[in-house]
């Protein structure tokens, strides 16, 4: 069959997701299983994939959706639900409004700074689920809170989950991880500055809303971007987003307290240090335990990683055993941290378990959406559909390919919901394309990651996390419409940066090398 025809057929599941969610407003838990059925049908009928291979590819995707993806989403919402049960969320709300009642500043602290921090240490949906639920608790419209956190959770995903996307990309492309990290940080610089402005303008409903907060918005981006570049170059992929988000949060809070103290709630009661620590305890323990069990501490991480189960699910060629990491996955660690926090706060074990059980029931419709979308991604990957889409795009664009290189990364994240998966799918293709057009492989490999961060805000998987966390299941279409506009601008800007910035990279790498 003609490759061009295959290209259009391969796009059918993607187009169905866009139309069903964005135009027909079908809820994700109904639209995504239909998309999965279409994908399985096409893989068997058009790509001649054996029925067993197609079904086991979907089964492997379903298993991955449950562990670790759904696990971490349940864990994040569980943490929030416990904090609500103990009254901790009320204290956090008072602390936030004592810094500022200006929604624009709260968005910079919570969606941008705190969200970036959660993405950096845990990833897998925590950066959307927790800040969105806190913003909703602070009085933000839940749909708006979801949209804001999805847009904020873009640039930090490149170095999310302790640098997993970039370190994985370096591994699959055989590129030096420090040079690749530096290149990714350089490409994302402009968008790290721009995204806080987008968040503020959306919060204030227009460009006029920048009045009075322009400098703090600029500093929110600069204080994230500059440390990230430095850390990426000299320390690699693990710490850039952690350092960037912590410094950004600290700068915004300090500026709010010094220059915007008139926006603080004058009647807010003073929170005692002990009460503040107890309120934040679940989040503090999540941070400490995830960091201690991460690759930054190889002895602990290595010991926990030994507790695993490997199962061969996919029966086709190139299938690898599916490995369940029982202890070292973020979801398990977050649940453990939350139980520990609850016990310290005086909640009985049985009550904590009931909160976890209620959270699992709360997530049931989201689970259907996420299982279907990750299963679809596996079938598209194994059957060759994604490869066909990417190859035709390279063929059509020729020397202009760098303009659309980020679009391929965005497509990967849209389908898979994961920056890491997008890098696994397309990292090799980007390096081959770079060789074909005589460009730095670092530059185009980084473009895949930069583009993948854009796709994160429109991924049905990410949107399902946001709707679940804010209790607005069924609003996926409304959210997709809002984030799609921002995503298009984002991909265009990154494409321009990649196309025109390519000559600079060799000079930068040699200057700082």
pLDDT tens string 187-202: 999 999 999 999 999 9
Residue 347, pLDDT score: 96
Q: Which of 107, 120, 113, 119 is nearest to 146 (CA)?
A: 107
Instruction: Name the token pair of 8.
Output: 């259009």
Instruction: Name the token pair of 386.
Output: 């994604």
Alpha carbon distance 223, 314 (integer Å):
45
Residue 163, pLDDT score: 82
Alpha carbon distance 257, 263 (integer Å):
9
* Cβ atoms of residues 391 and 429 within 8 Å: yes
Alpha-carbon separation of residue 96 from 90, 262, 282, 298, 495 (angstroms):
10, 14, 17, 36, 37
Alpha carbon distance 114, 320 (integer Å):
36
Alpha carbon distance 463, 417 (integer Å):
9
Residue 222, pLDDT score: 97
* Cβ atoms of residues 486 and 157 within 8 Å: no
Alpha carbon distance 40, 348 (integer Å):
46
Residue 301, pLDDT score: 87
Alpha carbon distance 479, 457 (integer Å):
9
Alpha carbon distance 117, 159 (integer Å):
10
Q: Which pairs with CB-CB distance under 8 Å and at least 24 residues apart come from 59-62?
A: 59/313, 59/314, 59/375, 60/313, 60/314, 60/319, 60/322, 60/375, 60/378, 61/371, 61/374, 61/375, 61/376, 61/377, 61/378, 61/379, 62/371, 62/374, 62/375
Residue 1, pLDDT score: 60
Q: Which helix (H) or strand (E) holds 310?
A: strand 308-311
DSSP bridge partners of 309: 324
Rounded to the nearest 10 degrees, what angle do helices 177-203 and 441-455 cross at?
30
* Cβ atoms of residues 148 and 135 within 8 Å: yes
Residue 397, pLDDT score: 86
Low-confidence ranges of the chain (pLDDT < 70): 1, 22, 122, 124, 268, 504-513
Within 13 Å and on the Cβ side, how many CA atoms surround 66? Answer: 12
Residue 78, pLDDT score: 87
The model's pTM: 0.77
DSSP bridge partners of 213: none
Q: Which of 177, 153, 149 is nearest to 165 (CA)?
A: 177
């Amino acid at each position: 069959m003609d490759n061009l025809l295959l290209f259009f057929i391969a796009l059918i599941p993607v187009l169905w997701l866009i139309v069903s969610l964005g135009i027909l407003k079908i809820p994700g838990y109904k639209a995504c299983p239909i998309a999965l059925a279409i994908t399985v049908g096409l893989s068997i009928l058009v790509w001649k994939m054996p029925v067993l291979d197609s079904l086991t590819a979907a089964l492997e995707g379903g298993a991955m959706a449950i562990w670790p993806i759904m696990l971490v989403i349940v864990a994040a919402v569980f943490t929030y639900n416990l904090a609500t049960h103990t009254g901790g969320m009320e204290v956090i709300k008072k602390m936030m409004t004592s810094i500022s009642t200006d929604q624009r500043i709260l968005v910079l602290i919570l969606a941008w700074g705190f969200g970036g921090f959660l993405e950096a240490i845990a990833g897998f949906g925590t950066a959307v689920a927790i800040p969105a639920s806190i913003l909703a608790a602070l009085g933000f419209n839940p749909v708006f809170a979801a949209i804001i956190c999805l847009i904020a959770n873009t640039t930090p995903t490149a170095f999310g989950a302790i640098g997993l996307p970039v370190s994985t990309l370096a591994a699959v492309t055989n590129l030096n991880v420090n040079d690749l990290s530096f290149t990714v940080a350089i490409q994302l610089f402009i968008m790290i500055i721009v995204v806080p402005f987008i968040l503020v303008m959306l919060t204030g409903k227009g460009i006029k809303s920048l009045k009075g907060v322009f400098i703090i918005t600029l500093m929110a981006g600069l204080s994230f971007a500059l440390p990230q570049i430095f850390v990426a170059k000299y320390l690699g992929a693990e710490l850039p987003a952690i350092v960037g988000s912590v410094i950004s949060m600290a700068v915004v809070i300090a500026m709010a307290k010094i220059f915007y103290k008139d926006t603080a709630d004058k009647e807010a009661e003073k929170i005692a240090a002990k009460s503040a620590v107890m309120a934040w305890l679940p989040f503090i323990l999540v941070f400490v335990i995830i960091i201690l069990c991460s690759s930054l501490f190889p002895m602990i991480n290595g010991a926990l990683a030994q507790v695993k189960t490997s199962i061969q699910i996919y029966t086709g060629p190139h299938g690898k055993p599916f490995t369940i990491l029982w202890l070292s996955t973020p979801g398990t660690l977050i649940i453990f941290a939350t139980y520990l926090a609850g016990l310290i706060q005086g909640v009985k074990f049985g009550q904590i378990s009931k909160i976890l059980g209620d959270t699992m029931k709360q997530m049931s419709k989201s689970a259907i959406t996420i299982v279907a979308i990750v299963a679809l991604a596996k079938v598209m990957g194994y059957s060759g559909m994604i490869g066909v889409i990417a190859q035709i795009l390279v063929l059509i664009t020729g020397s202009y390919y760098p303009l659309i290189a980020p679009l391929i990364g965005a497509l990967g994240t849209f389908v898979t919901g994961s920056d890491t998966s997008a890098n696994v799918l397309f990292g090799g293709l980007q390096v081959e394309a770079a060789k074909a057009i005589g460009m730095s492989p670092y530059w185009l490999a980084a473009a895949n990651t930069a583009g993948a961060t854009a796709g994160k805000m429109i991924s049905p998987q990410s949107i399902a996390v946001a709707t679940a966390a804010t209790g607005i299941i069924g609003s996926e279409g409304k959210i997709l419409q809002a984030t799609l506009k921002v995503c298009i601008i984002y991909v265009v800007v990154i494409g321009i940066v990649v196309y025109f910035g390519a000559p600079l990279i060799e000079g930068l790498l040699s200057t700082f090398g």
